[in-house]
Homo-oligomer: A and B are copies of this chain.
Amino acid sequence: MRLYIGLVHYPVYDKNEQRIASAVTTVDLHDLARVARTYAARKFLVITPLADQQELVDRVRRHWTRGFGASYNPDRKTAIELVAVAPSLDGAVESISSVEGEAPFVMATDAGEQEQNVLSFADARAMLHQDRLLFLLFGTAWGLDEQVLRQSNAVLEPIMGVDGYNHLSVRAAAAIILDRLVGMNRISLSS
């Protein structure tokens, strides 16, 4: 399985649908790194153009992989080792391409229903199991800017709860989506 995940801090929307660069948070880094490690993603790319935010990511990574944290919590180390920084979506795609020798299929995620280029969970899972190189993008703040959706090869269908409420944290959404695409001891259900 060749899966990469990316957490996009720019360009994303704020509450008023303005394009912003959101702040990196350590809880996102830890939670998504542990989810990435659990579901065997090859890298977790944190996408931000801001130098001070990139430095924060590097500092967290150093602490848990080489500093005190590495001996304090080895399980955390193997998760945080997956974290890398990219300055932009293009930069992230390039770094994956240079390692893998081919361009990834870029799949965005969004809580809203999209009109075109939508992939179902079943289709996305099948692609992964057919060894397709996949780069799965998650948005911070109020979600991925439309230009990221347009730049992507497809958008994954949104998670449905029970009655249409659809406001999960990116930490919860990423966990559920990776479980749906990769998880093992799930249960047999016809949707």
Contacts and interface: CB of A to CB of B under 8 A. Distances in A.
Give chain A's interface residue range (CB within 8 Å of chain B). 35 or more
Interface in A60-117: 73, 75-76, 78-79
A187 B121 contact: yes
Nearest to A124: B187
Contact of A171 (B79, B171, B189): B171
A40 B161 contact: yes
A187 B78 contact: no
B159 A183 contact: yes
Given A40-B162, A172-B35, A187 B191 contact: yes
Nearest to A39: B161
Contacts of A187: 120-122, 125, 180, 189, 191
Going nearest first, the 5 A-B pairs with the smallest beta carbon separation are: A38-B161, A172-B175, A40-B162, A122-B187, A160-B185
Interface of A: 1, 15, 27, 30-31, 34-35, 37-40, 73, 75-76, 78-79, 120-122, 125, 157, 159-163, 165-169, 171-176, 179-180, 182-191
